[in-house]
Amino acid sequence: MFRAIVAATILAITPALPAHADKDNGSRISITGTASITAKPDIAVVTAGVESVAKTAREALTANSNKMNAVFDAIRALGIEEKDVGTANFSINQNWRHGPEGSQPDGYRVSNQVTLRLRDVSRVGDVLDALTTAGVNQAGNIQFSVENADTLLDSARTEAVHKARARAELYAAAAGVELGRVLEISEGGMGGGVHPVFARMGAAAAMEAAPPIAPGEQDLSVSVTVTWTLRK
């Protein structure tokens, strides 16, 4: 269920028209209307991966590849489509040991992370459980979003314009003038749409049960600025 919240802000009113004017003479008024809706996220993006450390780069890479193959097997078993799976990060770095004598090289570290796009947010906990069981020991964040946010905002756009006009008419009447034709309509930045949830997994973070994940709700907002001419 969506609820609309609308606000309008006056930007500028140019000098009032002279009493004898009956046509547009360059005076104008600009009003910004802001409207928002609340929607439940229907998309979850999960980033998770495997980090491996070994004495040589080849050993670290081999160990990491073996574990990632198991992770990809788990992803396929979950029924996630290939188009919704992509590598987020892959790196090979020298590992360093820090001690009283300073930092010393100590093998190599390989990290491989994958991003999963889930079209059923209720599956996030089960997916994390399956990935961890398969060998995932590294996680970034979980981001919830609304897939058709732009379409949902159409009602807010209409409401924002209506409210902007009502406020403009109020100011025009107070100034003893009337609204003329619309000169410009512009849309500002849209807010909301992504809600991050941070999660961390240890090297041996096998879960006895799927973790509880709450996507909550998101506020999606849009602003519309309308400029009218003013006439006496």
| 150-173 pLDDT, tens digit each | 888 999 999 999 999 999 999 999
Question: Residue 148: its pLDDT value, please?
Answer: 85
Q: Got the DSSP string for 41-101?
A: --EEEEEEEEEEEESSHHHHHHHHHHHHHHHHHHHHHTT--GGGEEEEEEEEEEEEEEETT
Could you say which architecture CATH assigns to the domain 5-39+149-191+222-231?
A: 2-Layer Sandwich (3.30)
Whole-angstrom distance between the N-terminal and C-terminal Cα of the chain?
43
d(CA 161, CA 164): 5
Could you say which architecture CATH assigns to the domain 43-145?
A: 2-Layer Sandwich (3.30)
d(CA 44, CA 167): 39
| 128-150 pLDDT, tens digit each | 999 999 999 987 678 998 988 88
Q: Is the pLDDT of residue 207 over 60?
A: no
* C-alpha separations of 145 from 27, 52, 120, 127, 193 in Å: 42, 31, 11, 17, 5
| 184-197 pLDDT, tens digit each | 999 986 665 555 54
Q: Which whole number is the average pLDDT over 173-179?
A: 95
Q: Structural domain boundaries of the chain? A: 5-39+149-191+222-231, 43-145
